[in-house]
């Protein structure tokens, strides 16, 4: 089979990590610029006050952590089961870990937002509840990876979990919205959907772009690190 030798040659010839990751630098600058714009040049929401600006972090992180990261993890997992290419496993692993960080940010900013606008740090708001359960799914994915020493087994079993996790997402959404039907919760600002003033909308779109850049820069960095790690393991075992 050609893929075996191909994987081997790729791994053993992995280049050393570059000293400066320009994509990451660019992403950090973009996020910084977004923050400056959000704080200095975008008016705060009249009703919600300054804390509303936390949504410029919260919502992009949620989109990337919940949807983008989980989709990449599951899609690469499914492809791995089919193609058995180590690179796909490394992308899954990286997406899960970066997604986990983003979801942690979502939960933290959600709690800050909740404390200041609803008076309680955790209000079982449905979106946040979904994020919490997904956070647990990603955590268990990472723990599963950690619990398997054999690399092939780890890749295969975590790919199965990754694919099932994507199937779980719609069910978690359905469940938490059903749950809300019984427990009405505070009125939520729904960013994206309601009419925002144009300055806020532009800042918000800018924020999504900046965080997407950050997400993919971190994903690439984490992936390169995984490649280097695997190459080192390969050399040690050879």
Partner 1 sequence: MCAARLAVAESPALVAERVTRKYGGRVAVKDVSLTLSAGDCLALFGPNGAGKTTLLRMLGGLLKPNAGTVRLHGNELPGEAETRRLLGVISHRSMLYDALTVRENVMFAAECQGLRDAASATTRALDMLLVLDRADTPVRALSRGLQQRVSIARALVHGPRLVLLDEPYTGLDETGARALTDALRALKASGATVVLITHNLSEGLALATHATIMRAGTFAHEMPRPEASYDVGEYAALYREIVAGGE
Partner 2 sequence: MRAHGRCGVSASFREPSFVADAVRIARKDLLIEFRTRSGFLSATVFAMLSIAIFRFSWDPTAVTSIDLAPGIVWVIFTFAGLLGLNRSFGVEQADRALDALLASPVSREAVFAGKALGNLCFVLAVQVIALPTLALFFGLPVAPEWWGVGAIALLAAVGFAAVGTLFAAIASNTRLAEMLLPMLALPFFVPVLIPAAQATSKLLAGLPLTEVIAELKILAAFDIVFVAACTLAFPFTLEE
Task: State the residues that interact with partner 2 by CB under 8 A.
Answer: 81, 133, 136-137, 139-140, 143-144, 147-149, 153, 156-157, 159-161, 163-164, 167-168, 171-172, 174-176, 178-179, 181-182
Min dist CB 77 to partner 1, Å, is 19
Report the Cα 211 to chain-centroid distance in Å. 10
| Token pair in block for residue 80 | 């791995």
C-beta closer to partner 1: residue 88 or 165:
88
Q: Cα–Cα–Cα angle for 50, 52, 58, nearest 5°?
A: 135
Which stretch in 94-102, 103-111, 132-140, 144-152 sits in contact with partner 1 by CB under 8 A? 144-152
Min dist CB 179 to partner 2, Å, is 6
* C-alpha distances out from residue 111 to 68, 104, 120, Å: 22, 11, 8
Min dist CB 235 to partner 1, Å, is 8
Partner from partner 2, partner 1, none contacting 81, C-beta within 5 to 8 A by type: partner 2
- Residue 9 binds to partner 1 (criterion: CB under 8 A): no
Min dist CB 219 to partner 2, Å, is 23
Closest-CA residue to 89 (of 161, 139, 169): 161
- Per the CB < 8 A criterion, the answer to whether 97 and 72 are in contact is no
Min dist CB 214 to partner 1, Å, is 32
| Token pair in block for residue 138 | 């990603």
Partner from partner 1, partner 2, none contacting 133, C-beta within 5 to 8 A by type: partner 2
What is the C-alpha end-to-end distance of the chain, expressed in Å? 20
Tell me how far apart the alpha carbons of residues 41 and 28 are, in angstroms, rounded to a whole number. Answer: 19
- SS3 of 90, please? helix
Binding positions for partner 1, rule: CB under 8 A: 1, 4, 150-152, 233-234, 236-238
């Amino acid at each position: 089979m050609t893929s075996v030798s191909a994987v081997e040659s790729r791994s053993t010839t992995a280049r050393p990590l570059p000293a400066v990751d320009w994509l990451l630098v660019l992403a950090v600058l973009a996020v910084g610029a977004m923050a400056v714009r959000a704080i200095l040049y975008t008016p705060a929401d009249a009703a919600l006050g300054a804390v509303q600006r936390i949504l410029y972090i919260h919502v992009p992180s949620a989109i990337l952590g919940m949807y983008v990261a989980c989709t990449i993890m599951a899609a690469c997992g499914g492809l791995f089961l089919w193609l058995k290419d180590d690179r796909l496993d490394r992308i899954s692993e990286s997406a899960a870990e970066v997604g986990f960080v983003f979801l942690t940010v979502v939960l933290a900013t959600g709690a800050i937002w909740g404390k200041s606008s609803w008076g309680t740090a955790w209000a079982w708001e449905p979106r946040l509840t979904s994020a919490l359960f997904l956070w647990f799914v990603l955590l268990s994915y990472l723990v599963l990876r950690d619990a398997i020493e054999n690399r092939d087994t780890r890749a295969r079993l975590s790919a199965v979990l990754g694919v099932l996790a994507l199937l779980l997402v719609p069910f978690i959404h359905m469940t938490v919205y059903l749950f809300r039907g019984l427990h009405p919760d505070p009125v939520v600002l729904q960013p994206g959907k309601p009419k925002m003033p144009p300055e806020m909308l532009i800042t918000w779109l800018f924020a999504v772009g900046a965080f997407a850049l950050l997400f993919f820069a971190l994903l690439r960095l984490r992936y390169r690190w995984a490649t280097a790690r695997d190459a080192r393991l390969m050399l040690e075992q050879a």
